[in-house]
Amino acid sequence: MKPTVLIATTSRWFPTARLAMALAGAGCMVDAVCPSGHPLASMRTVRRVYAYRGLTPLSSFAGAIAAARPDLIVPGDDLATSQLHDLHTQEGRRGKAGFWICELIERSLGAPESFPVVYARTPFIEMAREQGIRAPQTEIIPDLDGLRKWVARVGLPTVLKADGTSGGEGVRVANTLEEAERAFRALQAPPLLARAIKRALVDQDKSLVWPSLLRRRSVVNAQVLVAGHEATTTVACWNGVVLASLHFEVVNKRSSVGPSSVLRLIENAEMSAAAEKMVRRLGLTGILGFDFMLEADTGHAHLIEINPRATQVGHLALGAGRDLPAALYSAVSREPFRAAPKITEKDIVTLFPQEWMRDPASPFLTSGYHDVPWEEPELLRACVRKAWKLKRHDSQLPELPALSTLRIPRS
């Protein structure tokens, strides 16, 4: 019998939809729990969809798990991972009644001892340094006085990062003390109620409502800036062992601190070793990512953070040892590993619609492998609609052209 995987996401962003396609292609039955209006709901490869409610997130996940009875849960964003950790704690208090959900979450995400570490930036980096991994000094900054002491000790520029954020949303690079103080205030402040209400009404995303009402402040971390360029690793792992991995150098980003839009496939022994050490140390399971800086002068890889959920490249099948969905299916089903055919021989991967949004005339749309979801027309339409909406929101950029004018290659 085919194993059932439950995709769990609190966000309406669409990389999880690509992963659902890949897992279904690997042989899994795929269900999803997601906000209303998510592209997952209209996909042919998704069997059943359950509603995620931002005001009652744990009951949303618990209800979906009870109905789907999945063999594995794959979180699609950091908040989903955090809330699954919270659900594990909640169900653990119920004793025998909650045992099976706790067991499922541990089978899906790994050792519960790792839960407090994977979305807390400073403890994660401290653990990496203890493992002998090259990683920049990182500290929790409690207040403005602590920030000033940090800057006096390590200098500028410096990087500030808020826990519980992803996609560059909670990252600021400060070149002056004034910039650092302004960034600290913005990152630590609770979400504005007006922003939370707008997101709830317009985007049907209620995840900011409770933090705003409770005036919950974020933990802010400072990290020494490593001069160089960005790289990323995505792995499929099982009980602390890496099964398959993808390593990329970032070529383009939609914005300076946003998600990648063009990547170059690479091999990097330092990145591979760091990922394997941290997966083993934390006893992790599932699909997750690690971000690095490749030092400009030496090329050394510095681990800067973990993404404790599926990333936007986790669906790419690039051959033996580089097919994460096939590796995860093999682990869950206990069947022999069978990699899917390589989707491309090109090293450059152009992510859709990110690079198209960045520059509709980008040469990478034709020179690289452009990862367009042709197999799922509804997903393709949803990507275009979302891209159009985001592009229009940015008044400094031209309006997106119609999809028919793109002439996107299929290879």
Question: Mean pLDDT for each 10-residue chunk of the chain (411 residues)?
Answer: 94 85 96 92 93 91 98 94 96 95 98 94 97 98 96 96 76 94 89 56 56 69 96 98 98 82 97 98 97 96 96 94 96 92 96 90 96 89 75 47 34 35
Return the pLDDT at 200: 57
Residue 2 contacts residue 28 (beta carbons within 8 Å): yes
CA-based nearest residue to 67, from 93, 101, 97, 41: 101
CA-based nearest residue to 58, from 107, 18, 94, 12: 94
Rounded to an integer, what is the distance from CA 86 to the centroid of its chain? 18
CA-based nearest residue to 75, from 15, 29, 124, 120: 15
CATH topology of domain 110-131+226-340: D-amino Acid Aminotransferase; Chain A, domain 1 (3.30.470)
DSSP H helices, 203-283, are: 209-213, 269-282
Distance between CA atoms of residues 250 and 229, nearest Å: 7
**CATH assignment, 4-109:** 3.40.50.20
CA-based nearest residue to 128, from 297, 248, 244, 291: 291
Return the pLDDT at 304: 97
**Residue whose pair of structure tokens reads 């004034």 in the numeric block:** 178
Distance between CA atoms of residues 224 and 35, nearest Å: 37
User: What's the token pair of residue 201?
Assistant: 């009404």
> What are the sequence ranges of the domains in the chain?
4-109, 110-131+226-340, 137-224, 347-411
3-state secondary structure of 83: helix
93-102 confidence digits (pLDDT tens): 999 999 999 9
Q: Which CATH class is domain 137-224?
A: alpha beta
User: What's the token pair of residue 5?
Assistant: 């995987």
Distance between CA atoms of residues 109 and 91, nearest Å: 15
Rg over alpha carbons for the chain, rounded to the nearest Å, is 21
Distance between CA atoms of residues 409 and 200, nearest Å: 37
Contacts of residue 218, defined as CB under 8 A and 6 or more positions apart, other chains included, come to 162, 163, 164, 165, 170, 187, 188, 189, 190
214-241 confidence digits (pLDDT tens): 556 789 999 999 999 999 999 999 999 9
- Kindly list the distances between the CA atom of residue 101 and the CA atoms of 6, 58, 75, 86, in Å, as whole numbers in the listed order: 13, 12, 15, 12
Distance between CA atoms of residues 50 and 32, nearest Å: 6
Reported pTM: 0.88
Phi and psi at 366, nearest 5°, equal: -115, -30
Neighbours of 264 (CB within 10 A): 15
Which element (helix H / strand E) includes 245? strand 241-253
Contacts of residue 278, defined as CB under 8 A and 6 or more positions apart, other chains included, come to 127, 128, 131, 133, 284, 290, 303, 306
